[in-house]
Amino acid sequence: MKTTFGEYIRFHRNKKGLTLTQLAAELNLDSANLSKIENGIRDFDEKRLSKFAKIFNLDIEKVRDEYITDQIGKQIYETNCTPQLLRVAEEKAEYRRTLRNKTV
């Protein structure tokens, strides 16, 4: 089952038997803020992704994928983007790639 990135963090934290305070300390943030992150009230700062991966011995690429799919999934949800519109968005992303190649 696909989950939010906050739930993903919580899953790994519980699996390792860490408290919010313990993990927050390792990540250099407040336990209150980590709580909000796990509950989807705040975003996890991208800068901490590698630290997170190291703590739980996870592949950094996998963690990053988990992160960006969460971010984009959130935007799809918030904008009520339908599957058809998402196809269009995908084409536009492709178009931006062609723009990059033209300009250089």
Partner DNA sequence: TTAGACTTGTCGTTATTTGACAAAAATAGT
Partner DNA sequence: ACTATTTTTGTCAAATAACGACAAGTCTAA
Q: Work out whether the CA dihedral 87, 3, 13, 25 comes out positive or negative.
A: positive
41 belongs to the binding site for a second copy (CB under 8 A): no
Residue 16 phi, psi dihedral angles, 5° rounding: -90, 0
- Smallest distance from the beta carbon of 48 to DNA, in angstroms? 7
What's the rounded Cα separation, in Å, for the pair 41 and 39?
A: 6
Residue 17 binds which entry of DNA, a second copy, none, CB below 5-8 Å type-dependent? none
Q: Which is nearer to a second copy, 29 or 89 (CB)?
A: 89
Is residue 11 close enough to count as binding a second copy by CB under 8 A? Answer: no
Q: Could you say whether residue 42 binds a second copy (CB under 8 A)?
A: no
Tokens (6 digits) for 5: 């990135």
